[in-house]
Chain A
Amino acid sequence: MASNILAIRPRESLRRGGHSSGVSAGEAMQGIGWIPVALSAALIVSGLAGRKKGAVALALTACAGMAAASAGYGVPLHRGRADNKGRSGTAGATPEVERAITIGKTADELRRLWLAPGTLPQLVAGFATLHPAGDGRMRWEIRTPLGRAYQWESEIVDGPGGGVGWRSLPGAAIPNEGSVRFDAAPNDRGTVATLHVRFDPPGGALGEGLLQLLGTTPLNLVADNALRRFKSLVETGEIPTTERQPAARATTR
């Protein structure tokens, strides 16, 4: 399968129902209350068409399927409960994720474009704000929905398999490291870019900050979005967006 996110190794600790990064807090989107609607409809079915016993089962199966789908992917269902449950379930685990995407460029092109100034800040926009700090270092800033900010600096290191890596400097609020490697894809498919991100590497402390961070946006979604944006940027020169578009509401995205 060319050109698609492959879930290679989403660690169990990251399997959280929760927010979609596409919907910021306070924005209303139709569909959140779907399961109750479907259940009500199923009950109506049972009342109206008692002879069709399969009908209710059918509807309930559909609901169960949706709930299952939402649990793994951050569709905004069961938001509050999943978060609370997730928080306690995450403590003590290692937040680590590896995701891959196939891009129609050579490995050399991708390595050059990944390292180009300005690329990385665009890939993680919405999750973190990045500022170049000289010598290949980056200053990261993440704000939680409650307004608390976490900052750290990272440096570039060699990644495994000839890839590009980075790791936070000692004393970071949220110690982390990551890498991206580029391997040839079959035939005319281009190159597979594999992104590996790990928070709280050996020796670091998993603190309250990390929990708040992951409560905001699941790490696998951050990784997926970063890879998709990278692909779009290098294949087309731009990242698709709905910013500043017309809509009859305050936040128009």
Chain B
Amino acid sequence: MRALYWNGVNDLRVGTVKDPEIINPRDAILRVSLSTTCGSDLHFIDGYIPTMKSGDVIGHEFMGVIEEIGPEVKRLAKGDRVVVPSFIVCGQCWYCQHSLYSLCDNTHPKPELQAPLLGGHTTAGIYGYTHAFGGYAGAHAQYVRVPFADNDCFKVPDGVADDTALFLSDAAPTGYMGADFCNIQPGDTVAVWGCGGVGLMAQQSARLMGAERVIAIDRFPERLQMAREHAGSETIDYTAVDSVLETLMEMTGGRGPDACIDAVGMEAHGTGPQYAYDRVKQALRLETDRGQALREAVMACRKGGTLSVLGVYGLIDKFPMGAIMNKGMTVRSAQQHGQAYMDRLLSHAQKGELNPAYLATHRFSLEDGPRGYDMFKHKTDGCVRAVFAP
């Protein structure tokens, strides 16, 4: 089959690789209909995250059609149109049974590459996203193997188009979870740093959960426009104001937002040697805007409010723990527990309450994958997400 793979730092290629096969009895093989880029992919493409191997097929946000099922798959059949959350979960461990799916104990085949960096703990495995996160082949390909298919494939109802279902794989559940963390009450104002796919989904989700106002913070005009048009957010261009903090305080009558969602991150993930990179990078740009996002969110949040962290971090310096403590804040964070939200997300999509298809600003054949990632990385032509069809 054809697949997009990581050949080396800033070197993506499309080539022919062997087809995936059923290995374990609960596996399924999915014929990929659509897959899309994620900002977190850029970190290993740029060489900031280690544990990639030349030839790794990448991609963790996708949907498609069941092609083949293993002997222990009970709830799926060939031809089912499904969306697959990015984290592979067993459905049976203590974490899965407590809906903490991205913490699944049983889907990481290479724990020795990750456990040392998380105090001996491991996350669930992810498709196409470094060997520290399991080393599973990714979904920018014609076919992908989906372990524990009964838990990880969700049938897409009629009336929900492929390009809507696609974003229920990662961007939508991540944003939705971030809003869910905020325990939104009537009258609440939610501020969201970042208007990429996840940030926009968090804004729409906050609305769906009853937020009175949503305030979005970014610097790209086309993304701020999307926030206004699709999520009904008020917007702050942080390059156009003296102080985001003061602007937010003015907009909220001096209270501060009831909840603050960080959908920016530090261009880093929770694995090892990139910790060093993060710190060097922070050192290189001590006043970086990205470094400021999380701190700004802490400082702006009202007393007793919630900080919801979706951005990915390694180690962060000058984290204002004193403000969190003295303001009695609640901090919530996780990689996406997509399986916990998928029924609700599909229902919202079916009713037209959540339509993330607008994130698909640019479409490519899989053969043009490297060019798609290049446009996505440089935000060329207002690119929010590049979508690939094999």
Contact = CB atoms under 8 A, between A and B. Distances in A.
Interface residues of A, number: 71
Nearest to B279: A62
Contacts of A104: 92-94, 97
Interface in A42-79: 42, 44-45, 48-49, 52, 54-56, 58-59, 61-63, 65-66, 69-70, 72-75, 77
Interface string A205-238: 0000000000000000100110010011001111
A246 B277 contact: no
A34 B274 CA distance: 8
A30 B50 contact: yes
Contacts of A221: 112
A73 B105 CA distance: 19
A106 to B, nearest CB: 14
A66 B283 contact: no
Given A59-B276, A238-B24, A238-B25, A247 B112 contact: no
B106 interface: yes
B317 interface: yes
Contacts of A7: 120
B15 A189 contact: no
Contact of B116 (A48, A74, A252): A74
B90 A236 contact: yes
Contacts of A156: none
Contacts of A245: 20, 23, 136-137, 145
A21 interface: yes
B3 interface: yes
A3 interface: yes
A244 B109 contact: no
A85 interface: no
A88 interface: no
Interface in B37-56: 44, 47, 49-56
Given A73-B115, A242-B109, A248 B3 contact: yes
Nearest to A246: B17
B362 interface: no
Among A72, A242, A252: residue with most chain B CB under 10 A? A242
Contacts of B18: 246, 252
Contacts of A246: 1, 3, 17-20, 57, 137, 141, 143
Contacts of A108: none
A221 B110 CA distance: 11
B77 to A, nearest CB: 21
B273 A240 contact: no
A232 B106 contact: yes
A243 interface: yes
A230 B358 CA distance: 45
Interface string B169-207: 000000000000000000000000000000000000000
A30 B106 contact: no
A31 interface: yes
A74 B94 contact: no
A9 B110 CA distance: 22
Interface residues on B, range: 35 or more
A4 interface: yes
A59 B280 contact: yes
A2 interface: yes
B111 interface: yes
A69 B50 contact: no
A167 to B, nearest CB: 27
A55 B136 CA distance: 36
A22 B47 contact: no
Contact of B25 (A32, A34, A237): A237
Contact of A5 (B120, B134, B272, B280): B120
Given A244-B21, A246-B19, A253-B135, A29 B283 contact: no
A242 B134 contact: yes
A11 to B, nearest CB: 17
A41 interface: yes
Q: Give the 8 A-B residue pairs with the shortest CB-CB distance, closest first.
A: A31-B50, A73-B116, A249-B55, A55-B283, A34-B273, A248-B55, A62-B279, A38-B276
Interface of A: 2-7, 20-22, 27-32, 34-35, 37-38, 41-42, 44-45, 48-49, 52, 54-56, 58-59, 61-63, 65-66, 69-70, 72-75, 77, 102, 104, 188-190, 221, 224-225, 228, 231-232, 235-249, 252-253
Interface of B: 1, 3, 5, 7-9, 13, 15, 17-21, 23-26, 44, 47, 49-57, 72, 88, 90, 92-95, 97, 105-113, 115-117, 120-121, 125, 131, 134-137, 141, 143, 145, 147-148, 272-284, 286, 315, 317
10 contacts: A31-B51, A41-B277, A59-B279, A62-B279, A225-B112, A231-B93, A231-B106, A241-B109, A246-B137, A249-B53
Given A29-B51, A104-B94, A247-B57, 14 more contacts: A3-B95, A4-B121, A30-B9, A35-B276, A55-B283, A55-B284, A66-B273, A66-B275, A69-B116, A75-B273, A224-B112, A237-B72, A238-B26, A252-B137
